[in-house]
Amino acid sequence: MDLVLIESLAVDTVIGVYDWERTITQRLVLDLELATDIRPAAEHDDIARTLDYAAISERIQAFAAAHDFALVETFAERLAEALGGEFGIAWLRLTVRKPGAVAAAAAVGVRIERGTRPGAV
């Protein structure tokens, strides 16, 4: 199994449980690991045979702009569902961080894994 990585992707979205958070956009920072077999793409030097990280990043930006959730957990779950379905991703690990949400922490957030990891026993 190979992994396509997208690290520290910043997106702005409406996120939060407090009333004041529902009136502004806040930054989330995402890390993704996406399972795929890169050999066909490498053999043919063809982006159509792999997960296109630019297209996936654009889709994530559009998702963040189009949705608003109270919980980071909901954002992560819905995004994982969308990416899995739209890009045929069999397994992914997604970390969503919300910088500045807790004054004493650099960020808070969640990390989820969805799908079946190829090669897992």
Residue 98: active-site member: yes
Catalytic residue among 93, 97, 98, 114: 98
90 burial level (CB within 10 Å; 0-12, 13-18, 19+): middle
Residue 24 has what DSSP assignment? S
Number of residues written out for the chain: 121
**Residue 3 bridge partners (DSSP):** 35
**Residues labelled catalytic:** 98
